[in-house]
Homo-oligomer: A and B are copies of this chain.
Amino acid sequence: MSELKELATVIRIHRKAANLTQLQLAELAGVGKTVVFDIEKGKETVKFLTLKKILKVLNIEIQLRSPLLDNQLIINEKS
């Protein structure tokens, strides 16, 4: 399973857990319904900002990790 398939799955699982339809999630995130569908389908070329809007609604954080980053930086925890 590819990374973005996993991203798609993670989003779908969280959306279901939140008891939201794709349309509801899109509206809450302030994006078009097409994007939610595309992301859950595994589209790789979505805008990072758009993805973040959706992840925020679902309370999913993006964390950057690397050998250099001992303290992991959470980059979408606020705003």
Contact = CB atoms under 8 A, between A and B. Distances in A.
Contact of A48 (B10, B17, B47): B47
Copies in the complex: 2
Q: Is the interface of A mostly helix, strand, loop or mixed?
A: mixed
A31 to B, nearest CB: 13
A56 to B, nearest CB: 10
Interface in A31-51: 44-49, 51
Interface of A: 2-4, 6-7, 10, 13-14, 17, 44-49, 51-52, 55, 58-69, 72-79
The 9 closest A-B pairs by CB, nearest first: A63-B63, A60-B66, A61-B65, A3-B75, A44-B49, A48-B48, A45-B49, A63-B65, A46-B48
